[in-house]
Amino acid sequence: MLRLFPIQQKEELLVIHQMAHRIWPVTYDYMLSQEQIAYMLEWMYAPDVLKSQFEKGQLFYRIQKQDELIGFVALEPNFQNEETIKLQKFYFLPEYQNQGFGSKIFLQLFDLAQQLGFKRLILNVNKTNKALPFYLKHGMEIIDEGVFDIGQGYVMDDFIL
């Protein structure tokens, strides 16, 4: 069975840090340089950064298949308004990608957002990300786009869904 388990202690965030360092270099090697991947991992997944996100109210979840940890999710409640929750992170270890697990968890995320009282789920996706068709197939719609400066000369050129 595939399930989401909330991370309730800051100390548990180290597993997110470790998993991101396994996932990103493989998942984004076709669209980002290794230098940009290293920068973004530090910018978004350093232990202190994750702890700060947690303290500010981001909700982190482990994705587990039975007792095996296979991915993670982070949601930001009240993004821009009280009706919207933003999917900030949604990743599976490389060996669990493209096996249908994403579809099952994504449906659980919609249910979770509703249970938490949110009417809208939004996310940003790089315009060249291979996952874009996945989100569109699962009912997300492009509502905007933007180029976001993330420092060190790097930008994120995203669709907002």
User: Which CATH number belongs to the domain containing residue 89 in this structure?
Assistant: 3.40.630.30
Mean pLDDT value of segment 123-145? 97
Q: How much is the pLDDT for 79?
A: 92
Give the count of domains, the chain: 1
The CA distance from 49 to 151, in Å, is 15
Using alpha carbons, select from 22, 15, 7, 18 the residue that is nearest to residue 97. Answer: 22
Sequence-distant (6+) residues with CB within 8 A of 153 are none
Under the banding of pLDDT at 50, 70 and 90, the label for residue 113 is very high
Question: 21 lies in which domain range?
Answer: 2-123
Residue 155 CB neighbour total at 10 angstroms: 12
Does residue 38 form part of some domain? yes
Q: What percent of the chain has pLDDT over 90?
A: 98
pLDDT band for 109, please (50, 70, 90 cuts): very high
For residue 130, is it within any domain?
no
Mean pLDDT of 106-110: 95
Which residues are paired to 73 by β-bridges? 61, 90
Q: For residue 54, tell me if it sits in a domain.
A: yes
114 within domain boundaries: yes
pLDDT band at 152 (very low <50, low <70, confident <90, very high): very high
Residue 157 within a domain: no
Q: Would you state the pLDDT for residue 37? A: 97
Query: Looking at the domain assignment, is residue 160 inside a domain?
Result: no
Percent of the chain with pLDDT over 70: 100
Of 68, 56, 62, which Cα lies nearest the Cα of 14?
62
Q: Per the domain annotation, does 106 fall within a domain?
A: yes
**0.85 exceeded by pTM:** yes
Helix (H) or strand (E) holding 154: strand 154-160
**Within-domain flag for 69:** yes
Looking at residue 115, what is its pLDDT? Answer: 96
Q: What is the pLDDT of residue 111?
A: 95
Output the pLDDT for position 132. 97
pLDDT band, very low/low/confident/very high, at 57 (cuts 50, 70, 90): very high
Per DSSP, 160 falls in state: E
